[in-house]
Chains A and B, each alone.
Chain A
């Protein structure tokens, strides 16, 4: 079965954005091999906010990647993006049973929180950037139950970023 992997760059205090949605603090090391990391995926999942950010940044579709946007308020999405209203859990369950490469949760925090609640996340990959932001948007919302993890790998990079990879137990 295909795996669902959530990967967010975070500050050491767990933020994915600064208080004004700043992302300028993110440092990408070359050795992180972002493109290589992406090769294991053929499907991206995202929430409405992440999608709107992509649109604002002038992004187009990702070649060879199926992009799925979960939103109840959007009425359409641009070419290369599939809009799914409601049905988040059943859609992801169906996707995971299909043949193909792994599925990446592209963003954001609300989607990650609800997918963890439903036990749909297989792995978490967090490049932890060496700073405290102090405030902003945290990568995770409220969970009513603990989620136990198993550490798969730790890698440190020249910038001081530590990439922590976990399997969800």
Chain B
């Protein structure tokens, strides 16, 4: 069965963005395992707000075109009625649709975000793996990765890797 992986960069105090949406603190000097990660996935799960940012933003600096062009992109929204080319809209009762996708043939799926979709997926126990790139910084304010989680969730550490820049990559199985 395909796995849903929540893969994200966080500060040590658990923020995914600074107070003004900044992510300039995220390391871009090396690959940090993203190349291998991209080989094991073939699809992205994206929330409506993140989609709207992605659809309107220019490609990130240094990238000529959409780095996710080869992936199937599923957008979760109950308000959107139409969607750009190359995207697929999922609305209504999400859970059974995600379960069908997980059972269908394919590689693993990257739960790309944002916050609302992430919370929903965690609470509905739809996430199989958590892969955090913990950056050596305290932001002190911003948008937290984890919010609205209901109840305790035990985790199993699968892997931990550190880089010379001080980034700690922690991977957990969500039990």
Tell whether A and B belong to one assembly.
yes
Contact B157 A140 (CB under 8 A): no
Given A160-B156, A166-B12: A148 touches B149 (CB 8 Å cut-off):
no
Contact A146 B137 (CB under 8 A): yes
User: B152 at interface (Cβ–Cβ under 8 A)?
Assistant: yes
User: A35 at interface (Cβ–Cβ under 8 A)?
Assistant: no
Q: Quote the shortest CB–CB distance from A39 to chain B (angstroms).
A: 25
Contact A166 B136 (CB under 8 A): yes
A132–B122 CA distance with the chains assembled, in angstroms: 10
Instruction: Find chain B residues with CB under 8 A from A162 CB.
Output: 157, 160, 168, 170
Set A18, A143, A156, A160: member contacting B138, Cβ < 8 A: A143
Given A147-B137, A147-B138, A149-B12: A128 touches B25 (CB 8 Å cut-off):
no
How many residues of chain A get a CB closer than 8 Å to chain B's CBs? 35
Instruction: Find chain B residues with CB under 8 A from A18 CB.
Output: 152
Given A150-B166, A151-B168, A162-B168: A135 touches B141 (CB 8 Å cut-off):
no
For residue B140, which residue of chain A has the nearest CB? Answer: A143
Contact A149 B137 (CB under 8 A): yes
A131–B153 CA distance with the chains assembled, in angstroms: 6
Q: Quote the shortest CB–CB distance from A138 to chain B (angstroms).
A: 8
User: B150 at interface (Cβ–Cβ under 8 A)?
Assistant: yes
Contact A140 B140 (CB under 8 A): yes
Instruction: Find chain B residues with CB under 8 A from A143 CB.
Output: 138-141
9 contacting pairs across A/B (C-beta < 8 A): A128-B170, A130-B157, A140-B140, A146-B140, A147-B138, A154-B160, A160-B156, A160-B172, A164-B12
